Structure 1
Amino acid sequence: MDRLPGRRTGFVKVAQAHDEEVLHKIRQGLVYTETEASFQAPQRRPDLVFEYNHTPPAQAERRRELLVAALGSVGERTVLLPPFHAGFGSNVHIGDDFFGNVNLTFVDDVDIRIGDGVMIAPSVTLTTTGHPVHPSRRTDFGRFSEPIVIEDKVWIGSNVVVLPGVRIGYGSVIGAGSVVSRDIPPMVVAVGVPCRVVRPITDDDLTTRTAEAG
């Protein structure tokens, strides 16, 4: 018989209050530590990601099952070429008709939301998390996290890095090698380090092959 039910209940309530306090800090984009966030460990899905990455191409149905289990949500007709990498997996949400090429990395300490018809080239990193500049604030892996949103019909080129808190607008193209540190509006071509808008996408692009600036 449990002789200390009241004490046990008290411990649970204290733990829940602590967890809610840390989640509030994370949602506000404030610095939090590895120890503070350790209660989130069960949401990580490394074994499922590992199995997906090692499932033969011929086993398409099994790959689909693993991807649905590993990620927060997955749309229809989704292609994600292995290997891919995810800190959690459970915080990644992908829409319909998605294509992700090899070595796509999700640093998904908070949500990464990807719309419909998005195409992502090889070796792209989507990171919701950064670290303070001063080393004393990086003790115990101090970090901050902000969600990433990629709207419908976006195309992201090879070796792009998308940083915390960024939203990329509908239909936009991000040139290869860019570092996206701020929001990108809809229907533009943006390139560079840091990534900047170079021109709008117009009907003239219906008759051209490339997305290069004129």
Structure 2
Amino acid sequence: MAQSEREKMVAGAWYNCVDPELDALRALAAEAVFEHRSLPPADRGDIAPQLRALLGSAGEGARIEAPFHCAYGFNIHLGDGVFLNAGCTILDTAPVRIGEGTMFGPGVQIYCPEHHKDPALRRAGLEIGRPVTIGRNVWIGGSAILLGGVEIGDDAVVGAGSVVTKSVAVGATVVGNPARRIVG
């Protein structure tokens, strides 16, 4: 039996993102982020109810400031005390795991999808999702971009505006585009 495009996506295989089932899942995520963005802060709480229900998991005290955007939501896993500042975007076509106590500055972006390099296949919607794993007590500075397939070790720091294309070691500080380790 042929796999659905969602099954291919979840399995980490190439899939067609122009698919009715995936469109419907993105529409659910759009409704949840709309509620999160639209509710008064006192009513929204740390994470609006619809968005919290959509997420793969959200630990105690995890907080997402509005506005926020995600592709699907169900691939996002937040540890206890995670803080995502305003304007963050997570294109979660693959699992995104964010460890406890990790904090994001405003405008941080995580891009799991990788579009096909062949122009005809890219136009046809072929892409693959690469997971992102972020350890505990990590600081991701404002407007940093993390590409799919990277792992950020515990206690690491990613400088504001950095573009992370490769994994970051435990306790390391990286800055720049592409992000490089600095000593000191």
TM-score, normalised by the number of residues in structure 1: 0.77
Q: Structure 1 residues 148 and 120 mapped into 2: Cα distance closer, same or farther (>3 Å)?
A: same
Map residues 102-141 of structure 1 onto 2, 5 A cutoff. Answer: 102-141=86-125
In the aligned structure 1, how far is the partner of 2:76 from the partner of 2:100? Answer: 14
Aligned partners of 1:147 and 1:164 also within 8 Å = yes
2:15 corresponding residue in structure 1: 32
Higher relative contact order (CA 8 A, sep 6+): 2
Note the alpha carbon deviations across 1:131-173, whole angstroms, 9 max, x for none: 1333122122221211110111100001100001110000000
1:80 corresponding residue in structure 2: 64
Cα offset, 1:119, TM superposition: 0.4
Count of equivalent residues: 182
In the aligned structure 1, how far is the partner of 2:167 from the partner of 2:78? Answer: 19
In the aligned structure 1, how far is the partner of 2:164 from the partner of 2:144? Answer: 8
In the aligned structure 2, how far is the partner of 1:22 from the partner of 1:78? Answer: 27
Aligned partners of 1:77 and 1:98 also within 8 Å = yes
**Structure 2: unaligned runs, 5 residues or longer:** none
RMSD: 2.1
1:175 corresponding residue in structure 2: 159
Query: Which piece of structure 1 moves more, 187-196 or 53-62?
Result: 53-62
Q: Structure 1 residues 56 and 171 mapped into 2: Cα distance closer, same or farther (>3 Å)?
A: same
Please say if 1:193 is aligned against 2:172. no
Note the alpha carbon deviations across 1:173-202, whole angstroms, 9 max, x for none: 000111101110100111111111112xxx
Map residues 58-77 of structure 1 onto 2, 5 A cutoff. Answer: 58-61=42-45, 63-77=47-61
Aligned partners of 1:115 and 1:151 also within 8 Å = yes
Cα offset, 1:115, TM superposition: 0.7
Q: Which has the larger radius of gyration?
A: 1
TM-score, normalised by the number of residues in structure 2: 0.89
